[in-house]
A and B are shown apart, each in its own frame.
Chain A
């Protein structure tokens, strides 16, 4: 792993951190579900 100098403790160079997937899109929820029910 690329690790800047001076960074340790929680990280070490043996760690292999990867971006596995990227997901995007508009959720199916609609905003008015946060609102109280209308009469």
Chain B
């Protein structure tokens, strides 16, 4: 993982989908079974809501801007929630998907990369700072 992206990753529209404040997109993997059940869509699985990281054990009810997480040698900080746009609708082939995601809050969030390094799937995620406790 580098400062503004994960090696091998790319953004089609870099005017709105890139930069240090949107270096890494994260989504809660625990949401996918809910989407599958609600929409009858078994194709909605890891990566369906956008690349890059699928995390489990954490979601938008817990995450707050400024929270910092350690994954191996990498240090990430939550920068902002995802604002779903037409790309999500197209990716999911469902025009109402952005509105559905806003309604139920399963949006995902972005990280800025404070310390680059190597990560791999399966790694434990530790919390190193949470400046806004409530």
Which residues does A use to contact B, with CB under 8 Å?
A: 1-4, 7-11, 15-31, 34
Contact = CB atoms under 8 A, between A and B. Distances in A.
A22 B130 contact: no
B13 A22 contact: no
Contacts of A34: 13
A22 to B, nearest CB: 6
Where chain A touches its partner, the secondary structure class is: loop
Given A15-B58, A25-B10, 11 more contacts: A2-B127, A4-B128, A10-B62, A18-B122, A19-B55, A19-B122, A20-B54, A21-B53, A22-B6, A22-B119, A29-B90
Interface residues of B, number: 42
A10 B130 contact: yes
Contacts of B130: 7, 9-11
Where chain B touches its partner, the secondary structure class is: loop
B125 interface: yes
B134 A9 contact: yes
Contacts of A4: 126-129
Nearest to A8: B133
B7 interface: yes
A27 B90 CA distance: 11
27 contacts: A1-B124, A1-B127, A3-B126, A3-B127, A10-B133, A11-B127, A17-B124, A17-B126, A18-B55, A18-B57, A18-B122, A18-B123, A18-B124, A19-B122, A20-B56, A21-B121, A23-B54, A24-B6, A24-B10, A25-B51, A26-B9, A27-B12, A27-B51, A27-B87, A29-B90, A30-B12, A34-B13
